[in-house]
Structure 1
Amino acid sequence: MKEKKNPNKFTREREERELAIIVIKRVQDSTQEFDQEVEEVIRMGRYSEGGRRPMKVRMRSQVSLEEIMVRKGKMADDVEHKDIWIKRDMNLEKREKEKMQKSEAKEKKTRKGQR
C-alpha cells in the first residue's frame, strides 16, 4: 500500500491506523464492529517517501480475525482499495508450505488441461 508523504512518524501512524479501520469497515457487515477490535497497526520495513510497505494489523479477538478472513473477498469489488490484499500473517515454514501447495495445484491444473 502506497504511503503518503508525511515524515512525521506520529501523524503517519495515526493515518495508517485510520486506513486499516476503513479497510476493515469495507469488509464487515453492517451489524458488526470489527473496527473496534483493532489492537495495533504496524508498517513492515523501512519508511521511504512514496514507497509501498505492507501493514500488519493485530486484532483483539480471534473471532473477529476469522470473520474478516471469511469476508475479505468483498475487497475485490472495492475500486478505491483494489490494490489492498488481506492475508494471514505466517511464519517462514507456513509460507513455504503454502507456496508448495500453490505450485502443486498449478501443476495439477496444467496436467489436467493437457488431457
Structure 2
Amino acid sequence: MKVKMRSQVAVEEIMARKRKLADDVNHKEIWIKKDMNLEEREKEKVLRSEAKEKKLEKDRDREEEFLLEGSGYDTKEVVPKEKEKVVEEAIN
C-alpha cells in the first residue's frame, strides 16, 4: 500500500523513527521506504543485484575453501582446499 503524506515534516519524522518498528514483534510485516523516482529505483535494483551476486560468490568461495572431514560424532577437522588437493595427488 502506498501512502502519501501532506507534510514533509511528518515524512521526515516517520523516516527517522522507522527503525524502532524493526524491533517490534507485532509490526514485522511493515516496511517503510522513501519515495523514489524511476532513476533511483533502477539504481537501487542494480545495487541489490550486485550485493546478491557478491554474497553468492563469497559463499561459493567459502565452500570451496574448506572441506569438513570425519564421520559420525567424531571431531571434525577443517582442511583447506589446497591441502586436500595435495593429499589426493599423493594418494594417486
Tell me the TM-score normalized by structure 1.
0.43
- 1:33-48 alignment to 2 at 5 Å? none
Larger Cα Rg: Structure 1 or Structure 2?
2
Are residue 57 (structure 1) and residue 33 (structure 2) matched?
no
Q: CA deviation at 1:86?
A: 0.7
Aligned residues: 61
CA RMSD of aligned residues (A): 2.1
Which residue matches 2:29? 83
Q: Looking at both structures, which has the greater relative contact order when contacts are Cα pairs under 8 Å and sequence separation is at least 6?
A: 1
2-side partners of 1:69 and 1:76: how far apart? 12
2:3 maps to amino acid: K
The one-letter amino acid paired with 1:78 is D
Q: Deviations over 1:20-48 (max 9, x none)?
A: xxxxxxxxxxxxxxxxxxxxxxxxxxxxx
**Structure 2 alignment gaps of length 5 or more:** 62-92
Q: 2:27 and 2:17 mapped to 1: Cα distance?
A: 15
Q: Is 1:72 matched up with 2:18? A: yes
Runs of 4+ in 1 over 4 A off after TM superposition: none
Equivalent pairs: percent with the same residue?
57
Q: Relative to structure 1, is the Cα distance of residues 90 and 82 closer, same or farther in structure 2, using a 3 angstrom cutoff? A: same
Residue 113 of structure 1 corresponds to which residue in structure 2?
Answer: 59
Q: Give the helix-richer structure, 1 or 2.
A: 2
Give 5+ residue unaligned stretches, structure 1. Answer: 1-53
